[in-house]
Structure 1
Amino acid sequence: MTPSDTPGSPGDPSGPWSDLERPPLNGAALRRGLVRPGGLWTEIEVVRATGSTNTDLVTRAAAGAPEGTVLIAEEQTSGRGRLDRTWTAPPRSGLFFSVILRPTGVPVERWGWLPLLAGVAAAGALSRTGGVDTALKWPNDLLVTVAGEERKFGGILAERSGDAVVIGVGLNVSLHADELPVPTAGSLALADAISTDRDPLLRAVLRSLEQWYGEWRRFEGDPGASGLQEAYAAGCATLGRRVRAELPGDRELVGEAVAIDGDGRLVLASEGGVQEPVSAGDIVHLRSVPRDE
């Protein structure tokens, strides 16, 4: 057991047992359940707090940390999302972790599929284990329905470090309404999940990620042959919607989201019928588009 995995004293008001509704993760148990010969996961560490698990693993990856390294934080004090946004949540109220992947043998131009792959893996695992419908908002937000409204409860951030890609995942699990970073956010608890026990949820996500990553690598990152492109499209709530893409350079594009192309880009069709792929930017869902229009 590493120092960061030490449970601590139940009587310590600042310790891991201070909130019995949110028990700490057990790093030793996670390692026993997930680290195995020939498997993807090689090192699993749980820390009580850090600035950003992604920042930490980008540094470790540059120093040669192996593929399959997993860093989980009970609390992130400087959590980051896409477009330099911050991610905040009370300690032990969610799952905040990063993993190191080294996709040797996969052409670099296909590495952009990794955050989408992580989204597919997480959404599927949480739907099965949490018993709540989840959806993907392009490119890498996770959505649940709370009181009839679509709300973001998770996000994924990918950063390259040499021949490695660090994938960070942040998921709101047990947050109450008064704990949300913004009123429009959500959590598994608010979506009436059948379980908010973080241990089985985390195990399910990591096992699903291992399975999807292995299949994607088996086909040298081909999103079609591996089934990833089809799975992402099937779970993507953005498709079939009228959306506004807020693009770099203060440019906006409004149209119907009609496809995810082979490069993982969102294809928008304007009212004039012109299709344009979007590779980066912020997507705002405007309304659904009936399929027979």
Structure 2
Amino acid sequence: MTPQHSETPGGGGREHHGDGGRESGGGRWTDLERPPLNATALRHALVRPDGLWTALDVVQATGSTNTDLAERARAGSAEQGAVLVAEEQTSGRGRLDRQWTAPARSGLFFSVYLTPDVPAERWGWLPLLAGVATATALSRAAGVDTALKWPNDLLVDVGGQERKTGGILAERAGDGVVVGIGLNVSLRPDELPVPAAGSLTLAGAASLDRDPLLRAVLRSLEQWYADWRAAGGDPGASRLQEAYAAGCATLGRTVRAELPGGRELVGEAVAVDGDGRLVLATADGVQQPVGAGDVVHLRAAAG
């Protein structure tokens, strides 16, 4: 997935052609530089009676963790705090149902189920909250400065260039929302689908151990979610809106918003409003909020 498409969990996976992208002979399964996640240790560290996370499952491969967890939620077999992690996604979904895959164990591909007890009109903040939580965790656990591209991309610096290394996708399911997070951890240059993709290893991460990285992201998500709920979903009172704006690489730049229905809007991104929408100041002096669409960065922020 590329930064220009602003679409996916799993920022830099390869386009799916139906075979899941596995190499013959089990090459990716035997890659010693990509050890499997320790599900037992992860559950021991994260699932506790007084915490958000109620269950954590790791599967070797699946089409999409979002699809699987959403099906569980609709069937009533997933409760709030369920976490589903895949070592490999063969049909990871993003905006417009684009499909992408990445080598097994090369990243973190997981979904969580949340049932926020806040007004439903504020649920749109969940993907932005997930972005803030992930960026915060990566700064601490991997030593990588991660920027947010509105609405759902995670960017890192690789050789002075912004590269998409992850994405977030939220969708309603059952009584709540499934939030999927995809993060490229160890993708090598020859595994990148396009030059604009990135990974933590290419950004010079201090740690590529996926177990502590996943623990850090989930703990950060738990804290931000708790603060947001305690504030009744208010993005201002929970400081979520402030944190998102501070880490958003889109603000201050001239961008093109590719809107539903084929329309386009060009302007300077000047704010993220209380509904999580990107506000564009257009050439005719109008400030136009954008609630959905792909955003293309046309020019770097001034200064």
TM-score by length of 2: 0.89
Match for residue 37 of structure 2? Answer: 25
Counting aligned pairs with the same residue, the percent is 77
Match for residue 82 of structure 1? Answer: 95
Secondary structure of the structure 1 residue equivalent to 2:122: helix
Match for residue 80 of structure 2? Answer: 67
Cα displacement (A) at 1:90: 0.1
Secondary structure of the structure 2 residue equivalent to 1:98: strand
Q: For the Cα contact (< 8 Å) 1:16–1:23, is it kept in 2?
A: no
1:94 aligns with 2:107: yes
1:172 to 171, 181, 184: 184
Match for residue 4 of structure 1? Answer: none
Match for residue 208 of structure 2? Answer: 196
Cα displacement (A) at 1:242: 0.4
Give 1:176's aligned amino acid.
R
Match for residue 218 of structure 1? Answer: 230
| Cα distance change of structure 1 residues 30 and 128 upon mapping to structure 2, 3 Å threshold | same
CA distance in 2, matches of 1:41, 1:261: 30
Give 2:127's aligned amino acid.
P
Q: For the Cα contact (< 8 Å) 1:47–1:74, is it kept in 2?
A: yes
Which protein is bigger by CA-based radius of gyration? Answer: 1
Q: 229-238 or 79-88: which moved more?
A: 79-88
Relative contact order, higher structure (CA 8 A, sep 6+): 2
Give 2:226's aligned amino acid.
G
Secondary structure of the structure 2 residue equivalent to 1:160: strand
Give 2:241's aligned amino acid.
Q
2:270 to 254, 258, 268: 258
Q: For the Cα contact (< 8 Å) 2:58–2:87, is it kept in 1?
A: yes
Secondary structure of the structure 2 residue equivalent to 1:125: helix
Q: Deviations over 1:132-183 (max 9, x none)?
A: 1110000010000111110100000001013110000110000001111222
Give 1:87's aligned amino acid.
W
2:286 to 262, 274, 289: 274
Secondary structure of the structure 1 residue equivalent to 2:180: strand
Secondary structure of the structure 2 residue equivalent to 1:39: coil
Q: For the Cα contact (< 8 Å) 1:256–1:289, is it kept in 2?
A: no
Cα displacement (A) at 1:82: 2.1
Cα displacement (A) at 1:289: 4.0
CA distance in 1, matches of 2:28, 2:101: 18
CA distance in 2, matches of 1:208, 1:16: 30
Secondary structure of the structure 2 residue equivalent to 1:127: helix
TM-score by length of 1: 0.92
CA distance in 1, matches of 2:137, 2:204: 16
CA distance in 2, matches of 1:268, 1:251: 14
Cα displacement (A) at 1:128: 1.2
Give 1:61's aligned amino acid.
A
1:233 aligns with 2:263: no
Match for residue 5 of structure 2? Answer: none
CA distance in 1, matches of 2:259, 2:208: 36
1:126 aligns with 2:138: yes
CA distance in 2, matches of 1:74, 1:86: 17
Match for residue 109 of structure 1? Answer: 121
CA distance in 1, matches of 2:39, 2:27: 16
| Cα distance change of structure 1 residues 219 and 46 upon mapping to structure 2, 3 Å threshold | same
Cα displacement (A) at 1:24: 0.0
Secondary structure of the structure 2 residue equivalent to 1:76: coil
Match for residue 19 of structure 2? Answer: none
